[in-house]
């Protein structure tokens, strides 16, 4: 019998790997698990597994987490629902490995930085800024701060907000402010017209964020 093809999996520094209803040895039959920093196996029904994952994340103060489980072991929605209130976003909604029908969900604890821009105060209110601004920040930060969408946050449609996600909003927002002071975006000096807000949760509503600049 031909040996099954092994699928390589890589993990981030300090990432916790949790096997739900299966053990690591069973997974290794089909997957090359490279350099797992930490791992454990949990057993139980769907509700119990979700609670155990949540408790593990809280107890160990996790920022990165991958869960492996058979499709019948736990629902994707239940696991996402258990971790999102803790500030985790699901980077890989469903990574289905065809050979053994395993699902991998990778969670990352992220925070929000929001840049709010009033078009009435901008020299050139070009809508392309909703893409060029976060793209430049992601490139400049080498991926530590990433685009997380945009929206108008006033009824008249004058104020555009760009959401950014990062693991360390408090550490990055002052650096982003310095970037806004030294570079122009679509010919706009955003240091004269923008506001910067932060939140410890991902996808934060503007009303729940704290303005950090201008002070």
DSSP codes of every residue in 15-42: -EEEEESS-HHHHHTTEEE---SEEEEE
Q: Please report, for the domain that includes residue 141, its CATH number.
A: 3.30.70
Kind and range of the H or E run holding 117: strand 111-118
Q: Which domain holds residue 28?
A: 7-109
* Same-domain pairing of 70 and 133: no
- Is 90 within the bounds of a domain? yes
* Same-domain pairing of 12 and 102: yes
Report CA Rg, the chain.
Answer: 21
* Same-domain pairing of 176 and 86: no
pLDDT band per the 50, 70, 90 thresholds, residue 124: very high
**Segment 19-32, tens digit of pLDDT:** 999 888 888 877 77
- Measured between alpha carbons, how far is residue 8 from residues 13, 24, 33, 41, 99 in Å? 16, 14, 6, 20, 13
- Is 145 within the bounds of a domain? yes
Q: What is the pTM of this model?
A: 0.70
Secondary structure of residue 96 in the 3-state scheme: strand
- Is 2 within the bounds of a domain? no
**For residue 97, is pLDDT > 70?**
no
State the total domains in the chain. Answer: 2
Which range has the worst mean pLDDT, 159-163, 176-180, 198-202? 198-202
């Amino acid at each position: 019998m031909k040996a099954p093809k092994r699928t390589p999996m890589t993990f981030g520094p300090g990432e916790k790997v949790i096997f739900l209803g299966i053990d690591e040895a069973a997974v290794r039959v089909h997957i090359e698990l490279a350099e797992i920093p930490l791992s454990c196996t949990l057993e139980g029904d769907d509700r119990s597994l979700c609670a155990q994952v949540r408790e593990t994340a809280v107890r160990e103060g996790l920022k990165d987490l991958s869960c492996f489980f058979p499709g019948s072991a736990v629902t994707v929605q239940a696991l996402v629902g258990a971790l999102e209130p803790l500030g985790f976003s699901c980077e890989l909604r469903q990574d289905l490995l065809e050979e053994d029908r395993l699902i991998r969900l990778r969670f990352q604890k992220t925070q929000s930085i929001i840049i709010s821009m009033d078009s009435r105060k901008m020299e050139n209110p070009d809508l392309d800024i909703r893409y060029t601004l976060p793209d430049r920040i992601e490139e400049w930060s080498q991926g530590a701060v990433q685009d997380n969408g945009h929206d108008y946050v006033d009824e008249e449609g004058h104020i555009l907000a760009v959401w950014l996600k990062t693991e360390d909003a408090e550490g990055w927002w002052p650096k982003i402010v310095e970037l806004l002071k030294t570079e122009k975006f679509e010919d706009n000096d955003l240091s004269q017209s923008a506001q910067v807000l932060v939140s410890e949760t991902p996808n934060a509503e503007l009303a729940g964020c704290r303005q950090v600049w201008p002070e």
